[in-house]
Amino acid sequence: AAIGIMLFALFLLWLFTAQSIYTSLFGSEPPASVGAFLRDVLTTKKGWTLILLGNAAGLVFAVVVLATTVVAFPLLLDRDVGAVSAIETSARAVMANPLQMALWGLIVAVLLVIGSIPLFAGLA
């Protein structure tokens, strides 16, 4: 449960970060419509800044989640260890094998993108 709580906290922090980036660029008013939002994001300097900063922030959160859970979840299922020990082991494994873990993260990300193409049906 501890890792789930940690992941939920990271998710909330990610949402707060994304909202902060959006608000700092576009203000607190919501877009008038989906079309207006897409036009603002895809055709303005602020929009491209949002895309770049948002993706950079998302990458940081993704790396943190990967580093703390890639080994932790299987370890918790297989051995009688605590959450902190499992997270520490996961972080050590990532530090010892950064290229392999980055490749694994890329494989997972690509598969998630492929799964989301047909209206997210592959993620169901």
- pLDDT surpasses 90 at 21: yes
Taken in order 80, 81, 87, 89, is the CA torsion positive or negative?
Answer: negative
Q: Each residue of 63-113: pLDDT tens digit?
A: 999 999 999 999 999 999 999 999 999 999 999 999 999 999 999 999 988
Task: Give the residue with greater pLDDT, 99 vs 124.
Answer: 99
Residue 67 contacts by C-beta under 8 Å, 6 or more apart in sequence? 90, 91, 94, 101
- Torsion region of 119: left, alpha or beta (phi above 0 gives left; psi -120 to 50 gives alpha): left
Whole-model pTM? 0.84
